[in-house]
C-alpha cells in the first residue's frame, strides 16, 4: 500500500522499521542466542554464574559483563527483548481496546452517555499515575502480569479521547451523511466507515506508546515494584545499575557496562517506535508533500 511504500522510502522510518525487525528477530531467536541453563526454573529468570555482589566486566563467558549478583547482562537483554515486546504490545493492546470502546460509545451515543463516560475519563486522568501504579502493583505483587494490568488501568484514557474526537469529526463529514441517506445501519456505519478512518491517529498513538510503556515499566522497576528479582527485563537490569553508576574511588565509570547495554536497548527500542510513529503521523498529515 501507499503507506508501506512511504514508510520504506523515508530513511528515518526505514531505520525505525529495521531496528524493530532486529529486535523482533532477537526476541524470536532468544533460545538460540542465549541458551537456557539446565538448572533454570524458567528461561525468564536470568542465570547467575556465581553469587559475588560486584559486577564483573565483559568477558568470553559474559559478553556484556554481569550486573550485581552476577546476572548475565547479555542473557538478560536478549530475553528481555521478549519482555519488552510483551509489555509494550500488551499494555497498548489492552489500553487501546478499553480506550477505543469507551471513546467510540461516548462519541456515537453522545448526550448523557458521552458526559458520564468523559467524566469517568477525567477522573482516571486525575489519578497520579506513578502513585496509582505503585499501589496497584504493591497490591497485586511483582511480576509481568500485574505490571501490565497497572499500566493499562491508568493508560487507556488518551485512546478514548483521541478516538472520540476523531469520530466526532468524521461523523459530521459529508460522506457519512451520504451513507446515512441511503440507509446504512448504525453498526455498519461505525465499522465500515467511521472506525477505519478514525483509527489512524490511534495507531500513531499506539506505536509511540509501545515504546513509552517500556520506559514506564522501567520506572516502576526502579521504584521497587515491577518484575521479580532477576527477571529478564531491561528495566530491571537498568535498576540494578543504580548503585554502580558511581564507580569505585578513582575509577568512576568502572561499571559502565551495567548501565550502557540495558540503556542502549531501551533507547533504541523507544527510538525505533518513535521513528515509525512519527512517520505514520507524517502520512496522516495531508499537508506534507510526499515524493
Partner 1 sequence: MQSYILRRLFFLPIVFFALSLMIFSLQMLLTPIQRLSAYVSTISEMKGGQEQIAHLIKKYGLDEPFITQYWLWVKGVLQGNLGWSETARGPVSEVLLSLFPATAELVVLAFIPSFLCAIWLGTRAGANHNKLVDHIIRFFTILGWSFPTFVFGLIMLMIFYGFLDWLPPGRLSQWAMTDVGSSDFIRYTGANLIDSLINWRWDIFFDSLRHMIAPVITLTYVNLANMTRLMRTSMLETLRQDYIRTARAKGLSRRVIENKHARRNAMLPVTTMAGMELASMMGGVVITETIFDYHGLGQFAATAAGSLDFPAVLGFALYFAVVLVLINLIVDLLYPFFDPRVVLK
Partner 2 sequence: MKRFFSLVSAITFMVLAGAATAKIKNPETLVFLWNSNITSLDPAYIGDTASTYSSLNVYSRLLDNDGSNISKFVPSLSAEVPSLANGLIKILDGGAIQYTFPIRDGVFAHRVGIKGDDGSITWHLYDDLSETDRAKIEPGYGQITAEDARYSLMRAILQGESWMANAVTEMITSGIYTNIEKWAIGLSGAEKFENVDAAGLAATHAALAEKIRTEGENLIITLDSSFPATLGIMSLPFATSIIDREWAIEKGAWPDTAETWLDHHKPKLENNPLFEVENGSGPFMVEAWDQAEQRITLKRFDGYFRDPASLKRVVLRTVPEWTNRRLQLLAGDADFAATPPEFIEEMRASEGVKVESLGQVYGRSLFFGWPVKAEGNPAIGSGQLDGKGVPSDFFANLDVRKAFNYAQNYDILLEQIQQGRTVQLRGPTVQGLMGYRSDSPIYSYDPAKAEEHFRAAFDGQLWEVGFEMTSYYSEGSTEAASSLAVLQQSLARINPKFRLRVQALTRSAFREKTYGSSNPESPLSYMGWGPDYSDPGGPLGAASYYLASTGLVAGFSGDGYRELMREKFDPLLAKAWALNDPAVREPIYARLQEMSHEFATTQFMWEAVTANVTRDWVHGYVHNKVLYGAWNFYNISKHE
Nearest distance, CB of residue 41 and partner 2, angstroms: 6
| Footprint (CB under 8 A) of partner 2, residues 127-156 | 138, 141-142
Q: Does 141 bind partner 1 (CB under 8 A)?
A: no
Pick one of partner 2, partner 1, none as the site partner of residue 230 (Cβ within 5 to 8 A by kind). Answer: partner 2
CB atoms within 10 A of CB 230: 18
Nearer to partner 2, 59 or 185 (CB): 59
Closer by beta carbon to partner 2, 132 or else 176: 132
User: Which residues neighbour 111 within 8 Å (Cβ) at sequence distance 6 or greater?
Assistant: none
Does 59 help bind partner 2 (rule: CB under 8 A)?
no
Query: Which of 5, 9, 177, 242 lies at the binding interface for partner 2 (CB under 8 A)?
Result: 242
Out of 139, 173, 178, 188, point to the residue binding partner 1 (CB under 8 A). 139
Q: Between 13 and 70, name the residue whose CB sits nearer to partner 1.
A: 13
Residues in the chain: 291
Q: How many CA atoms lie within 13 A of 179 on its CB side?
A: 17
| Extended beta strands in the chain, E state | none
Cell numbers at 274, concatenated: 518513535
* Of the residues 1, 11, 32, 38, which one makes contact with partner 2 according to CB under 8 A: 38
CA distance 206 to 213: 10
DSSP string, 188-244: HIIIIIIHHHHHHHHHHHHHHHHHHHHHHHHHHHHTT-SSPTTBS-HHHHHHHGGGG
Query: Grid coordinates standing for 227?
Result: 518484575
**For the window 91-130, what string marks contact with partner 1 as x by the rule CB under 8 A?**
----------------------------xx-xx-xxxxxx
Question: Considering CB distances under 5 to 8 angstroms, the limit depending on partner class, which of partner 1, partner 2, none binds residue 174?
Answer: none
Rounded to a whole number of angstroms, the minimum distance from the CB of residue 50 to partner 2 is 6
Decide: is 35 part of the binding site for partner 2 (CB under 8 A). Answer: no
Return the half-sphere exposure (C-beta side, CA atoms, 13 A cut-off) of residue 59. 10
**246 C-beta neighbours (distance < 10 Å), count:** 11
**How crowded is residue 89: how many other Cβ atoms within 10 Å of its Cβ?**
15
Which of partner 1, partner 2, none is residue 49 near (CB under 5 to 8 Å by kind)? none
Alpha-carbon separation of residue 136 from 142, 217, 226 (angstroms): 10, 13, 11
Question: For residues 69 and 201, which CB has a smaller minimum distance to partner 2 in the complex?
Answer: 69
Q: Give the contacts of 246 (CB within 8 A, at least 6 positions apart).
A: 252
Yes or no: say if 235 and 214 are a contact pair by the CB < 8 Å rule. Answer: yes
State which residue, 63 or 278, has the beta carbon closest to partner 1.
278
Write out the residues near partner 1 by the rule CB under 8 A.
Answer: 12, 119-120, 122-123, 125-132, 134-136, 138-139, 211, 215, 218-219, 222-225, 238, 241-242, 245-246, 252, 259, 263, 266-267, 270-271, 274, 278, 281, 285, 287-288
Binding site for partner 2 (CB under 8 A): 38-41, 48, 50-54, 68-69, 138, 141-142, 224, 228-230, 242-243, 245-246, 248-250
Amino acid at each position: 500500500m501507499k503507506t508501506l511504500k512511504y514508510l520504506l522510502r523515508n530513511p528515518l522510518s526505514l531505520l525505525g522499521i529495521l531496528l524493530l525487525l532486529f529486535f523482533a528477530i532477537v526476541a524470536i531467536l532468544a533460545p538460540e542466542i542465549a541458551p537456557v541453563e539446565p538448572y533454570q526454573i524458567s528461561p525468564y529468570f536470568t542465570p547467575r554464574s556465581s553469587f559475588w555482589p560486584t559486577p564483573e566486566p565483559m568477558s568470553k563467558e559474559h559478553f556484556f559483563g554481569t550486573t550485581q549478583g552476577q546476572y548475565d547482562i547479555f542473557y538478560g537483554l536478549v530475553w528481555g527483548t521478549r519482555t519488552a515486546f510483551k509489555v509494550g504490545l500488551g499494555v497498548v493492546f489492552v489500553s487501546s481496546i478499553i480506550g477505543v470502546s469507551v471513546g467510540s460509545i461516548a462519541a456515537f451515543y453522545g448526550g448523557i452517555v458521552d458526559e458520564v463516560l468523559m467524566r469517568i475519563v477525567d477522573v482516571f486522568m486525575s489519578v497520579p499515575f506513578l502513585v496509582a501504579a505503585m499501589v496497584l502493583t504493591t497490591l497485586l505483587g511483582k511480576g509481568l502480569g500485574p505490571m501490565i494490568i497497572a499500566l493499562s488501568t491508568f493508560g487507556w484514557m488518551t485512546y478514548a479521547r483521541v478516538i472520540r474526537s476523531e469520530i466526532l469529526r468524521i461523523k459530521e463529514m459529508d460522506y457519512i451523511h451520504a451513507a446515512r441517506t441511503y440507509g446504512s445501519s448504525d453498526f455498519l456505519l461505525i465499522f465500515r466507515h467511521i472506525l477505519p478512518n478514525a483509527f489512524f491517529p490511534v495507531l500513531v498513538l499506539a506505536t509511540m506508546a509501545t515504546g513509552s510503556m517500556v520506559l514506564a515499566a522501567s520506572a516502576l522497576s526502579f521504584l521497587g515494584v515491577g518484575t521479580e528479582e532477576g527477571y529478564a527485563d531491561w528495566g530491571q537490569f537498568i535498576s540494578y545499575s543504580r548503585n554502580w553508576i558511581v564507580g569505585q574511588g578513582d575509577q568512576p565509570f568502572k561499571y559502565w557496562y551495567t548501565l550502557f547495554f540495558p540503556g542502549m536497548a531501551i533507547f533504541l527500542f523507544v527510538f525505533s517506535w518513535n521513528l515509525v510513529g512519527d512517520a505514520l503521523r507524517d502520512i496522516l498529515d495531508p499537508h506534507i508533500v510526499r515524493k
